[in-house]
């Protein structure tokens, strides 16, 4: 956590001054790697995510997304799914397709203080959650998700199966690149969740148990627009 806070502080300083962040002997500034070839970034992201128990699907075209999510829902035995608002991808068609298949779709949105506890309960009881990540980090297989009312952090933290969509042009090589792109304004005003694989917990004997405090499974669908 201290390392992440140090990175965020340096990003804020660099963005505010328009110059590279000053060096710090106690916490060296991480090198910003070039974005590189998108296919290479996706390949590395998939390897890193698989190493921590997650799975990458695609890349798929936008028109194939709904059918792809439906196939994952059937595989996971999903009967109810919470669908958040997308960042760049329209998830409404995905929700419509799932609804037509008989899957209960819980749509998140702006709620007041009275209905927020009810929505949180629905999210906790849903079989799966579908959200779009703001960015994906290839070096660690991590997803960066900014929370909003229309896509609360509970969407990726409470349901036992987590389905996350990310566009291929939102694939970044490392954490520093993702934070720099997000910018200090977003980091200050919104909650950032970094997701690296399904939830895992180790007991006193160091045995790993999946899904005790969060999703038991994580499927990431990479979307590659035809015209991109």
Instruction: Clarify whether residues 139 and 214 are in a common domain.
Output: yes
The backbone torsions φ and ψ at residue 36, rounded to the nearest 5 degrees and listed phi first, read: 75, -175
Residue 116: the pLDDT is: 77
| Within-domain flag for 228 | no
- Structural domain count of the chain: 2
Residue 17: the pLDDT is: 54
Instruction: Clarify whether residues 8 and 119 are in a common domain.
Output: no
Q: What is the pLDDT of residues 179-208, one digit of tens each?
A: 999 999 999 899 999 999 886 665 555 565
Which value, in Å, is the radius of gyration of the alpha carbons in the chain? 18
Cβ contact 150:82 at 8 Å:
no
Residue 115: the pLDDT is: 74
CATH code, 159: 3.40.50.10420
Helix (H) or strand (E) holding 51, with range, is helix 38-51
Instruction: Clarify whether residues 138 and 194 are in a common domain.
Output: yes
Residue 126: the pLDDT is: 94
Instruction: Clarify whether residues 66 and 179 are in a common domain.
Output: yes
Instruction: Clarify whether residues 55 and 9 are in a common domain.
Output: no
Weakly modelled stretches of the chain, pLDDT under 50: 1, 19-32, 211
Output the six-digit token pair for 111: 């709620």
Cβ contact 28:42 at 8 Å:
no
Instruction: Clarify whether residues 53 and 93 are in a common domain.
Output: yes
| Within-domain flag for 101 | yes
Q: What is the pLDDT of residues 10-24, one digit of tens each?
A: 555 655 555 444 444
Residue range of the domain that includes 4: 1-30
Instruction: Clarify whether residues 24 and 115 are in a common domain.
Output: no
Instruction: Clarify whether residues 6 and 115 are in a common domain.
Output: no
Instruction: Clarify whether residues 109 and 140 are in a common domain.
Output: yes
Instruction: Clarify whether residues 93 and 119 are in a common domain.
Output: yes
Residue 26: the pLDDT is: 45
Instruction: Clarify whether residues 112 and 139 are in a common domain.
Output: yes
């Amino acid at each position: 956590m201290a390392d992440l806070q140090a990175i965020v502080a340096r990003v804020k300083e660099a963005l505010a001054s328009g110059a590279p962040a000053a060096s710090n002997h106690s916490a060296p500034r991480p090198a910003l790697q070039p974005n590189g070839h998108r296919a290479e970034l996706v390949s590395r992201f998939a390897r890193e995510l698989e190493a921590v128990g997650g799975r990458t699907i695609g890349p798929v075209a936008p028109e194939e997304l709904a059918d792809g999510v439906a196939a994952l829902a059937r595989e996971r035995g999903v009967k109810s799914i919470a669908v958040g608002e997308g960042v760049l991808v329209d998830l409404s068609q995905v929700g419509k397709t799932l609804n037509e298949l008989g899957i209960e779709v819980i749509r998140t949105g702006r709620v007041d203080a009275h209905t927020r506890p009810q929505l949180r309960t629905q999210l906790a009881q849903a079989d799966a959650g579908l959200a779009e990540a703001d960015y994906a980090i290839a070096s660690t297989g991590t997803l960066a998700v900014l929370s909003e009312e229309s896509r609360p952090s509970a969407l990726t933290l409470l349901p036992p199966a987590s389905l996350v969509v990310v566009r291929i042009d939102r694939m970044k090589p490392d954490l520093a690149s993702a934070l720099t792109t997000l910018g200090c304004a977003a980091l200050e005003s919104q909650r950032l969740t970094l997701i690296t694989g399904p939830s895992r917990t180790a007991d006193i004997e160091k045995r790993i148990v999946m899904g005790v405090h969060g999703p038991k499974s994580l499927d990431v669908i990479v979307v590659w627009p035809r015209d991109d």
